[in-house]
Amino acid sequence: MTVKEMLAMIKADLQARKSQLANDMVEGQISDLNHYHKSVGIAEGLMQAHAVVDGIIEKIEKEDE
């Protein structure tokens, strides 16, 4: 398995976790305001992690050229 393949798997997992958080919110599984704030913070962290992985993939692709 290449590094790019592993990063793609990480991106997919991050997206799946973000989607699950959104699903929980839509389905009313957030118990209180603190839980909501925590979920929003986690979602923000997942988006930042996704952006970092994208940046690493771009650097790898530039090095491969």
pLDDT digits (tens, 9 = 90+) for 23-38: 998 998 888 899 999 9
Task: Report d(CA 51, CA 54) in Å as an integer.
Answer: 5
In this model, does residue 64 exceed pLDDT 90? Answer: no
The pTM score is 0.83
State the average pLDDT for the chain: 93
Rounded Cα–Cα distance for residues 47 and 53 (Å): 10
Instruction: Please give the structure tokens belonging to residue 34.
Output: 């603190």
Count of domains for the chain: 1
Q: What letter represents residue 5's amino acid?
A: E
Which residue segment(s) compose the domain that 35 sits in? 3-64
**What tokens does 56 get?**
């690493």
* Inter-CA distances, 31 with 14, 22, 36, 45, 65, Å: 23, 14, 8, 21, 50
- Answer whether residue 11 shows pLDDT above 90: yes
